[in-house]
Amino acid sequence: MENIHLDLPLDEKTVRSLRAGDAVTLSGSIITGRDAAHKRLVDLIDQGKELPVDLNGQAIYYVGPAPASPGHAVGSAGPTTSYRMDVYTPKLLDLGLRAMIGKGLRSKEVVESMKKNGAVYFGAVGGAAALISRSIIASEVIAYPDLGAEAIHRFTIKDFPVIVIIDSEGNNLYESGPKLYKKTAL
């Protein structure tokens, strides 16, 4: 497969040029966050308070890494299922969140917000966590250390492999892909 290499952060023009099905490798800086961190961020947004991390132009990776063994920046670190973040995501996109990396379906509300804000949803391979961890070269906790694996980390990544699942026009590989191979109606 042809591969597009992108350096982070991503600007809106670059994001709007990506299409569902594109294979991409990412390098640069991303933040992590999953269920508990999303809940805290959105609680702060709802209260009009300042966030511990600037989301504008950021890419977020839905992951709760395993502990790092000696000599490694992180333990195994594959994507977690994204739909659990859907209820929070539009509020983060409105603050300028540019890209999300996860796996699995997204809600209509998230897709609409992505179109409006110019954001992209990348999929990483679920369960390829040891392989993926090799493209994470540095990790630090930047917020909510009490959450352990669920804390917000900053990862430095190099050639991190993803596929564009939903692009900024709302094209969705999880809909178009299976249609090509589906043989029978239920």
Partner 1 sequence: MRNIQANQITKSISELFTQCSYIIGDDIKDSIDTALKIEPSPIGRNTLLQISQNYDIAARERIAICQDTGMSVVFVELGQDVHIEGGQFEEAIQQGVREAYLHGYLRKSIVAEPLFERVNTKDNTPAVIHTRIVPGDKLKLTAVAKGFGSENMSALKMLVPADGIEGVKRFVLETVERAGPNPCPPIVVGLGIGGTFEQAALMAKEATALPLSRSNENPKYKQLEEELLTRINELGVGPGGTGGLTTALKVHIIYAPTHIAGLPVAVNICCHAARHASQIL
Q: Which residue lies nearer to partner 1 by CB, 55 or 151?
A: 151
Q: Contact, 80 vs 103, CB < 8 A?
A: yes
Q: Contact, 152 vs 52, CB < 8 A?
A: yes
Residue of the chain from 13, 50, 108, 186 that contacts partner 1 (CB under 8 A): 186
Candidates 49-57, 78-86, 91-99, 112-120: pick the segment binding partner 1 (CB under 8 A): 78-86
| Binding of residue 42 to partner 1 (CB under 8 A) | no
| Binding of residue 19 to partner 1 (CB under 8 A) | no
Q: What are phi and psi of 152, to 5 degrees?
A: -85, 120
Candidates 7-15, 91-99, 136-144, 176-184: pick the segment binding partner 1 (CB under 8 A): 176-184
Q: Which residue lies nearer to partner 1 by CB, 48 or 71?
A: 71
Candidates 6-14, 89-97, 109-117, 119-127: pick the segment binding partner 1 (CB under 8 A): 119-127
For residue 176, the minimal CB distance to partner 1 (Å) is: 7
SS3 for the chain is: CCEEEEECCCCHHHHHHCCCCCEEEEEEEEEECCHHHHHHHHHHHHCCCCCCCCCCCCEEECCCCCCCCCCCCCCCCCCCEHHHHCCCHHHHHHCCCCEEEEECCCCHHHHHHHHHHCCEEEECCCCCHHHHHCCEEEEEEEECHHHHHHCEEEEEEEEEEEEEEECCCCCEHHHHHHHHHCCCCC
Q: Which residue lies nearer to partner 1 by CB, 56 or 180?
A: 180
Candidates 4-12, 53-61, 72-80, 137-145: pick the segment binding partner 1 (CB under 8 A): 72-80
Contact set with partner 1 (CB under 8 A): 1, 21, 23, 36, 63-69, 72, 75-78, 80-81, 83, 103-105, 123, 125-134, 148-149, 161, 163, 165, 173-174, 176-184, 186
